[in-house]
Chain A
Amino acid sequence: MNPQVLGIFWPFGVFMIMLSVIGIYCMLLTYNLVRVLIGLELLIKAATLLVLTVGYCNGHIAQAQALVVTFIVIEVVVMTVAVGVVLGIRSHNGSLDVRKIRNLKG
């Protein structure tokens, strides 16, 4: 890879990895289901940033944009259904705490 292109890509790559670490840490260590969704959202943002940066560096920004638009549509649908599931869990269990969801235990 061209060193100039790598010089553009690598700072974005470092921050993309940092954003992924924040999202994974949030998903692993939180007990609140809404915060799990926020962690998932951060991970999706990191993936979006990666796709756009690679498209920019390769000179294929139009294809990257088309892919990002598809990502955003899928992201919204996933979040809407996940929020519905979270609200259903809350109405069944009375809590958003994952430690109190024991219906499928065993």
Chain B
Amino acid sequence: MVITVDIIILIFMILGALWAVMTRSLLRSAIALAFTSAVLSVLMFKLNAPLAAVFELSVCTGLISVLFISTISLTHPLTWEEIFQHMRERHKRFKYLPFIIVAVGIGLSMVSVKLNLPLPAPETNNDMRIVLWNLRRLDVIGQVVILLCGVFGVVILFKDEDKK
């Protein structure tokens, strides 16, 4: 029963991803991506990962959608003529995608996998905060460094050229 609910949620996630890729409006595409992220965060809750789910919901669904929507609003909209031409081109390129996805899904679900990998010892520490701050301290330092790199990168990219 539980796995059936999971599969229904997974199907919703794939439908959201297909909508994000196949819709012709960029704005709808960004909204579909946010929907996919939201469904993924529900899956994370179901996989006993509530903190990762909250991060996914707030950051990926919220912040990245805002980023994409701001980018789309900063670029100029297409004319109607360009939109119709673009629609025809897109339809030609993307019409095979749903069939490919269905074929991949059916093909993979028919494969019987037999992995004989030994499972590691069960986890002794179940608290994610202790793991992140004590066992994976280097990851936190790496996150800080990457955030600083991103901030400096954006500052350089949007530097005012008039000052030169």
Contact = CB atoms under 8 A, between A and B. Distances in A.
A15 B105 CA distance: 7
Nearest to A96: B75
B108 to A, nearest CB: 4
Nearest to B115: A1
Interface string B13-25: 1100110110000
Interface in A2-31: 2, 5-8, 10-15, 17-19, 21-23, 25-26, 29-30
Contacts of B83: none
Interface in A64-94: 64-70, 72-81, 83-88, 90
B3 A72 contact: no
Interface residues of A, number: 68
A29 B94 contact: yes
B1 interface: no
Contacts, number: 207
B49 A38 contact: no
Contacts of B10: 11-12, 15
Interface string B109-148: 1000101110110110111101110011001001100110
Contact of B157 (A53, A72, A88): A88
Contact of A15 (B14, B68, B100, B119): B14
B87 interface: no
A77 B14 contact: no
A80 B68 CA distance: 9
Nearest to A22: B17
A16 B132 CA distance: 25
Given A15-B13, A79-B64, A85-B157, A62 B113 contact: no
A26 B33 CA distance: 13
B67 A79 contact: yes
Contact of B37 (A45, A74, A86): A45
Contacts of A13: 108
Given A14-B105, A64-B49, A72-B60, 12 more contacts: A11-B109, A18-B108, A23-B17, A52-B43, A61-B123, A65-B132, A69-B51, A69-B52, A72-B59, A75-B60, A84-B157, A85-B157
Nearest 4 interchain pairs by C-beta: A77-B150, A84-B157, A68-B52, A15-B10
